[in-house]
Amino acid sequence: MKKTLIAYDSRTGNTEKMAQYIAEGIRFSGNEADVKRIRDMKSEKDLVGYDAYLFGSPTYHRDMIGTMKTFLFTAQKADLAGKLAGSFGSYTHSGDAPKIILDTTSVPTFCRQQ
């Protein structure tokens, strides 16, 4: 059984709902999923022990929200090399946040995308 961390932040609740639905799908497949709001994770130690990572953020002004940017610096300190990673996000117009999360210099340097 693989273990996935779904780390997200949400302003209106939509990204949080997405995180819960993604976790449900992972659990349905027979794997384990932990859903955590990024503001509840205080250090890189909170990211240890997972096989895969999903990061979620809403898009505001064609960008991910500031709390996700800060969190990615924390995540970069964790030893996540060789781990699977993905992103998701909610939006009403541009939907840029998921791509920006993966394009941010932090994410590709510590996770392998598949």
- Give the tens place of pLDDT for each residue, 27-82: 999 999 999 999 999 899 999 999 999 999 998 777 888 899 899 888 888 878 88
Residues spanned by the domain of 56: 3-113
Question: How many angstroms separate the CA atoms of 28 and 67, rounded?
Answer: 30
Task: Kindly report the CATH number assigned to the domain that includes residue 91.
Answer: 3.40.50.360
Cβ(61)–Cβ(31) below 8 Å: no
Predicted pLDDT of residue 105: 40
Question: How many angstroms separate the CA atoms of 19 and 34, rounded?
Answer: 10
What is the share, in percent, of the chain residues with pLDDT greater than 70? Answer: 82
Question: How many angstroms separate the CA atoms of 13 and 52, rounded?
Answer: 23
Place of tokens 């096989």: 51
Query: pTM of the prediction?
Result: 0.82
Give the chain's domain count.
Answer: 1
Residue type, 17: K
Residue 109 has pLDDT above 50, yes or no: no
